[in-house]
A and B are shown apart, each in its own frame.
Chain A
Amino acid sequence: MSMVAKEEKIINACRFCWMCRHVCPVGKVTGLERNNARARALALSLVTRGQSLTADIVDNIYECVLCGACTKDCVTGFDPTRFVKAARLEAALEGLTPESVVRILDDLEQYSNPYAGTVLAPALQEAIASLPQQAPILFYLGSSARYQNPQAAVTAIRLMKKAGVNFTVMMDEPDSGLYKANLLGSVAETRESMVQTAEMINKTKAEILVAFGPSCAKAFLRDYPEYNILLSPQVRTFTSWLNTLIQDGALVPTNRQNVITFHDPCTLARDLEEEDPAREILAACGTLKEMFLHGKHTMCCGSGLMDLYAPALTAKMSSSRWNSAQETGAQTLVTACPSCYTVFAKTQPDRMRLCGIESIVWEACK
């Protein structure tokens, strides 16, 4: 049975159903009929009925940003990301993976991260080196923070130190495996790299793992259990952890002048159903003005991963989010994901400031 055929039940449900089209962030910015769950399912339904998978269909399959908005909206409980991932795997088996994606997979193979990152920025190296080698709390930075947004990682480390947290960061932190899972679906190699990562994490003997990026947190909390991979430390999102530090008085924000709007990362608000901690943090740092479509209704910023192979599409999505941010009248857009930060930085309008949640707290605590 082909990979796609395994998801035939979902495909058959979605192919004639438009009910979740309004939540698809890609369809929203492109206005294209092909950019929603039903269109992708319709094309794949023809594949399950004997037609060939074509490069044209695969291209559209990669225009799904796997934000899970459709899945969350579906009253019946169907999950289109499953057939999207299945189709990506089938495309790989048939040699139909788009060239732009193959390049990222090659980088993942070679560098264990999709950014071709090899050495850490000196400031980040220094910050990590200043930490104990072993500690009850492991702060997991993720590839995006390590190679794309090291300043955010440095600030987050400083913040944790300021709060007196006894923590460590792995200098040679392994990749969470999430990228491969998203780009290729459920292949043996995906699981293999996750198993290796879990082993390295478990070896640290940390009791708590705080994941800086919500996507990494989602990988540890959702994907690893699905692949039957055991992580010994308890996994916390950075936002829930940071909020605890503030609520417990370990960090005391004093500057509350900011007028802020907040972009909920999709994995945080939808997959992990976490909306409040970031809001409580921001309430301590200023006045929060909610964006049109926030919380679990958040619209994906375009995703750091898609930015690597379809930057124009990502830019459209992040610009649309910036428009919503500007409409709130806030001066600063805060996000709680280093990868979203990188995406937003590329389309930042002149009259707004972009800030990671770690930076806004750092500033407020100065």
Chain B
Amino acid sequence: MLEVNGLRKVYDGHGRRVEALADLTFKLDDGEFVCLVGPSGCGKTTLLRCVAGLLRPTAGEVRVAGRLVTGPPDGLAVVFQEYGRSLFPWLRVHENVGLPLSGPRKPGLGKEALAAVGLAEARDAYPWQLSGGMQQRVAIARAIAFEPKVLLMDEPFAAVDAQTRADLEDLIREVWRRLGVTLLFVTHDIDEAVYLGQRVIVLSASPTTILDTLDVDLPAGRDQLTTRAAPRFTQLRGRVYTHIQQARTS
């Protein structure tokens, strides 16, 4: 469903040359849930922007559903890291969620998505009347209501408290199962990556390559208490942790 082949991105300008991505190759099957972890500044956002067709790679290519990506592909949604700036400040919450939608299911989809992220009450507010965490949930609701085939999420839970975060993690797993969406999820949080994904890709510091890919062989029905307490969970997170430490020190 999603193929990244030999992707390389060098930023060059204003007297600063950054080799953000050195050489990345990986693949997501249809309906797969993959988490990307890597140190800050390693190029996770750069990678997502290349996949979304918002940034032209220096070398290599991205394919979504077999088609070469040259602009934003159909049926692809993004939850941006700068969630606050991705909302339209002149539109109310429900208008923000409904703007990309069309057709008779529009009102229903928007309403459901807002209810799912716990913001049914805030539908008539403007984004700037909400807290950072609430704005982030609006951005998530907009992506869910869009019913994408491929969903890219860039640290979508960075601004919410621990309890909301746990709720949203379970929501995303439920949405993923219900819609059968192919999901590429960027996070700083190793535990979150292991808890959510079917697979975790560990990135090095820039110039970035893939350090390790590990299959998360935890049962599909996950639960905040039992899954996180399972010995296998601890083992997996230990392995990711070691790799990230190596990435930092090397």
- Chain A bound to chain B: no
